[in-house]
């Protein structure tokens, strides 16, 4: 569900913060101008998402490709506030600087359509869904269950070829040295449960955003006062 419009708005928030601007284009204005810029060839991005969706945002930079600081929030408020907040939380001072903007790219995922927990480790669709595995294996002294997951994007990025290999890797990561040679036995022993979800990663480079923004500010829609919002308003922590 995350689309280019959301990335453009995230960069709008990021640049307002980085340059100290007091105002920025609102999400509704960005959505309207982005669609116009692309001659409505892209699907219009919804400005509301299901309650409980999880938003992830991170920045990457070609100058430091291995640095990634991912932040997330459960979507419990309006989308523009969520994007603005997570976009600013995710700023990494090592790669998000004025002198490194040419190599900067923002990426995000909006995870949604979470299924009910299932004891069947194969109860998900490879290639479409990501998964979160939970084991009844205390990870802290408080005795909490431990969990770990991969998004559909991460499953492809890591080169998995089938469902068993994904689940087996997650089980072994969770158990560490306590893992046996048979992940299926570990799954039963520690009462494994799986939750599946959907959500793809999208991204936008700073250079593409600049090309759009230079065009956008010349449009009549961007010259109206109501097209803008307070750059700091609506941020929650």
* Domain positions in the chain: 4-112+200-230, 130-197
Query: For position 218, what pLDDT does the model report?
Result: 92
CA–CA distance, 63 with 44 (Å, rounded to integer): 32
Q: Buried (b) or exposed (e) across 130-140, using 16+ Cβ within 10 A? A: bbbbbbebeee
Query: For position 109, what pLDDT does the model report?
Result: 87
pTM of this structure: 0.77
Grouping H, G, I as helix, E, B as strand and the rest as coil, residue 117 is: coil
The predicted-structure confidence for 1-53, as pLDDT tens digits, reads as follows 458 899 999 999 999 999 999 889 999 999 999 988 887 544 445 555 556 67
- Do the beta carbons of residue 73 and residue 86 sit within 8 Å? yes
Query: For position 43, what pLDDT does the model report?
Result: 47
Query: For position 64, what pLDDT does the model report?
Result: 78
Q: The tokens of 93 are what?
A: 């001072």
Q: The tokens of 168 are what?
A: 């087996």
If DSSP states are collapsed to H, E and C, what string results for 31-98? HHHHHHHCCCCCCCCCCCCCCCCEEEEEEEECCCCCCCCCEEEECCCCHHHHHHHHHHHCCCCCCCCH
The segments of the chain whose pLDDT lies below 70 read 1-2, 40-52, 65-77, 139-145, 234-237
- Do the beta carbons of residue 45 and residue 31 sit within 8 Å? yes
Query: For position 236, what pLDDT does the model report?
Result: 60
Burial class of residue 203 (count of CB atoms within 10 Å of its CB; 0-12, 13-18, 19+): middle
CA–CA distance, 237 with 104 (Å, rounded to integer): 25
């Amino acid at each position: 569900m995350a689309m280019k419009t959301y990335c453009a708005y995230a960069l709008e928030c990021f640049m307002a913060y980085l340059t100290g601007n007091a105002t920025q284009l609102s999400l509704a204005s960005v959505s309207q101008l982005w669609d116009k810029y692309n001659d409505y060839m892209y699907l219009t991005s919804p400005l509301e998402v299901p309650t409980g969706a999880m938003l992830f945002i991170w920045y990457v930079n070609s100058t430091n490709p291995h640095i990634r600081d991912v932040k997330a929030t459960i979507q419990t408020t309006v989308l523009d506030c969520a994007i603005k907040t997570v976009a600013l939380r995710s700023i990494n001072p090592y790669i998000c600087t004025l002198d490194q903007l040419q190599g900067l790219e923002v990426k995000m995922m909006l995870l949604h359509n979470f299924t009910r927990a299932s004891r069947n480790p194969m109860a998900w669709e490879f290639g479409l869904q990501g998964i979160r595995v939970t084991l009844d294996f205390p990870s802290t002294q408080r005795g909490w269950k431990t969990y770990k997951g991969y998004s559909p994007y991460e499953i492809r990025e890591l080169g998995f070829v089938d469902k068993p290999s994904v689940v087996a890797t997650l089980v072994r990561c969770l158990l560490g040295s306590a893992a046996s040679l048979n992940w299926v036995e570990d799954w039963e022993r520690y009462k494994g449960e799986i939750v599946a979800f959907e959500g793809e990663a999208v991204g936008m480079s700073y250079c593409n955003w600049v090309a759009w923004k230079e065009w956008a500010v010349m449009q009549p829609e961007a010259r109206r006062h109501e097209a803008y919002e307070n750059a700091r308003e609506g941020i929650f922590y």
